[in-house]
Structure 1
Amino acid sequence: MSEQKLQSQTVQTTGHAWDGDLQEYNNPLPVWWVYTFYVTVAFAIIYWIIYPSWPFGKGWIGGLSSITYVNSDGETKTHSWNTRALLMEKLNKADAEQKPYFDKVASMSYEQIAKDPDMNGFILSAGKALFSDNCAPCHQQGGQGKIGFFPNLTDDDWLYGGTYAKINETITNGRHGYMPTFSEVLSPEQIDDLANYVASLSGIGHDAAKAAAGNTLFHSDTAACYYCHGADAKGRQVIGSANLTDKVWLWADVPGADTAEGKVAAIRTVISNGLNKGVMPTWGGRLSAEQIKVLTVYVHELGGGQ
């Protein structure tokens, strides 16, 4: 092998040596790596110029890129690029795309919306999004609610009425259900009699003698249950009192009890403690009239409204 070829295959050193034979090699970086490094440096400099980057004084270098959007107050703002401004811009774009549909919703009756295939698709899409953002935290994602807390919107049982007008009224103005605490005015035996009577209305196993006494108490001025639930115990939608004969349970967790005694006990607990948690907030000041109308149709369809 020639001396020139041998030298070309020998790793070059910097010429430094320690302890006689410890040398520092001179291995250049691969050319592709060097150029890649230069490209990343150039990209970083360009990025710093276009987008917000380094802290500067009490702020930062804003960059040349900016975003114009309309805020929640209807004011047009121009801001240096940031993720919040980008989100607002995307929301503005989405609102602009949906506006023709919301305008159409505002101009149509509920019956016309229900019969329009194109609007049905919009209601399903926009209504689902509105429901997920505003209603699902309480009524659950599918609208099935939670016994003891929030009504089931899929069972066609409407405390305040299931027409379009009533659902719209409920969403717009909110609701505040209430039932007094009967443990303060009735004895434990009387409450037990009432619980057995209510259980009998839904065909739940009960003590017949106690149910008969509960029937008398229910329709008397001592307990006065019929004032709210009606003489037929089918409730009054004008005040949102429950129908006690339809086997639909909102506050008493009757379905969760395995035995007849457990079901009666669940009813007894509600009668004894009363209710003051059937509160739904007012959405009239949070959502537009068009959004509430879309939600009304969406909720109406969840339970096959009236």
Structure 2
Amino acid sequence: MSETTTNQQKPTAVQTTGHAWDGDLQEFNNPLPRWWLWSFYATVVFAVIYWFLYPTWPVGSSWTKGVLSATFTEGGKQETMRWNTRSALLEDLQTGADATRQREYFEKIAAADFATIQKDPQMLAFVNQAGKRIFETNCSACHGRGGQGVVGLFPNLVDDDWLWGGTFKDIQYTITHGRNGYMPSFKGTLNTAQLDDVASYVLSLSGEVQADEASARGKQIFEGPVGGCYMCHGDAAKGIKSMGSANLTDKIWTLANVPAATTPEAKIEAVKAVVSNGVINVRTMPAWDGRMSADEIKLMAVYIHQLGGGQ
């Protein structure tokens, strides 16, 4: 391949670099499109401005900090620090458009009574959205993401069984002050036969087993001075709200895993274990006053009320 210089080009012809290969293969010298050049220059200017505004270049063991800052409240004090992703997030969570709208809804809920909230579709939609987030952050570790609970440990919040009451006020009080479920152990009070009889009677109340002689003996223990179970569960065994004692006449089991038992004998053993061992330091719910704001607790009361239908 030889390289020769082309003939002098006409001023109106497409310009070339002045070189040709194999006699007629020429290299054109077309200028870059003007829009492309200006776009390139704009990116250069943008990069220079960005270097000054944000943390950018490593310098030794540090880096350039930029000139932008973010202001947010932390620990009750207003803080202003150099821009970084954390400070920008905190500022946005407190003063951003979404945060402002969220704060407005919290203020509406704080000012409204429970009946008004329940009838307002917009407030209820916010309760469901924000309540789910707060619940998953603070409550799901014990009650599960959907509020189903764990039999024997943490109550199921999606059924209609409310040990401490299921009204808005009851739930709000429970979240605020916490609860401490307690039932004494009867293994030192009742012998094995008596424990079997009491378990049979308890199961007969909800129709889990047929009433028989064992359940009749269990009823005498339940209602008499030997067991004294009626003092907590009530004469009709429907539970007492102020004590958080269970209603034994329904088919909702929060401690004994009766639904998982496949035979009458297994059901008796499940109830017998609870009566024998009692409930001591395993049904404690912490108080959320101070961990959540009063507005968040009120919102959570509405959210949890809806999970189980409420009262």
TM-score over 0.5 for the pair: yes
Question: TM-score, normalised to structure 1's length?
Answer: 0.82
For the pair 1:63 / 2:63, whether they are aligned, the reply is no
Name the SS of the counterpart of 1:184 in structure 2: coil
| Counterparts of 1:204 and 1:129, CA distance in 2 | 38
Question: Which one-letter code corresponds to 1:288 in the other structure?
Answer: S
Please name the residue that 1:177 is paired with: 181
Letter in 1 for 2:259: P
Question: What is the Cα deviation at residue 174 of structure 1?
Answer: 0.5
Structure 2 length-normalised TM? 0.81
1:57-101, Cα deviation, whole Å (9 max, x unpaired): 886542223212222x33221111222212211211243221221
Please tell me the residue identity of whatever aligns with 1:284: D
1:296 has 2:301 as partner: yes
Distance of aligned partners of 1:46 and 1:227 in 2 relative to their CA distance in 1, 3 Å threshold: same
The CA distance in 1 between the partners of 2:184 and 2:59, in whole Å, is 63
Runs of 5+ unmatched residues, structure 1: 10-38
Name the counterpart of 1:305: 310
Residue 74 of structure 1 corresponds to: 76
Tell me the amino acid that sits aligned with residue 77 of structure 2: E
**C-alpha distance in 2, partners of 1:40/1:150?**
58
Corresponding residue to 1:286 among 291, 294, 298: 291
Instruction: Give, in angstroms, the shift of residue 2 of structure 1.
Output: 4.3
**C-alpha contact 1:171 1:284 (8 A) present in aligned 2:** yes
Q: Deviations over 1:96-155 (max 9, x none)?
A: 221221111121111111112221222122222222222222212222222112111111
How many residues align? The count is 279
* Residue type at the aligned position of 1:180: P
Match of 1:120 in 2: 124
Note closer, same or farther for the CA distance 1:151–1:3 as it changes in structure 2 (3 Å cut): closer
Match of 1:104 in 2: 108
Aligned position for 1:35: none
Conserved? CA contact 1:177–1:240, under 8 Å: yes
Displacement after TM superposition at 1:275 (Å): 0.9
| 1:228-251: CA deviation from partner (whole Å, max 9, x where unpaired) | 011111110011000001110001
Partner of 1:156: 160
Given that residues 156 and 303 in structure 1 are in contact (C-alpha distance below 8 angstroms), is that contact kept between their aligned partners in structure 2? yes
How many angstroms apart in 2 are the aligned matches of 1:297 and 1:127? 8
SS at match of 1:126: helix
For residue 138 of structure 1, the aligned residue among 139, 142, 162 is 142
Query: Structure 1 residues 245-254 or 126-135, which shifts more?
Result: 126-135
Q: Distance in 2 between matches of 1:134 and 1:182?
A: 34
Q: Please give the alpha-carbon distance, in whole angstroms, between the structure 1 residues aligned to 2:292 and 2:111.
A: 17
Query: Residues of 1 paired with 2:204 and 2:92: CA distance?
Result: 57
Percent identity of the aligned residues? 49
Compared CA separation, residues 188 and 56, structure 1 to 2 (3 A): farther
Contact 1:206 1:264 in 2 (8 A): no
**1:172–1:282 CA contact under 8 A, matched in 2:** yes
1: CA distance, partners of 2:62 / 2:299: 43
Partner residue, 1:88 = 90
| RMSD, aligned CA | 2.8
Partner of 2:190: 186
CA gap 1:41/1:248 in 2 versus in 1, 3 angstroms: same
2:244 aligns to what SS in structure 1? coil
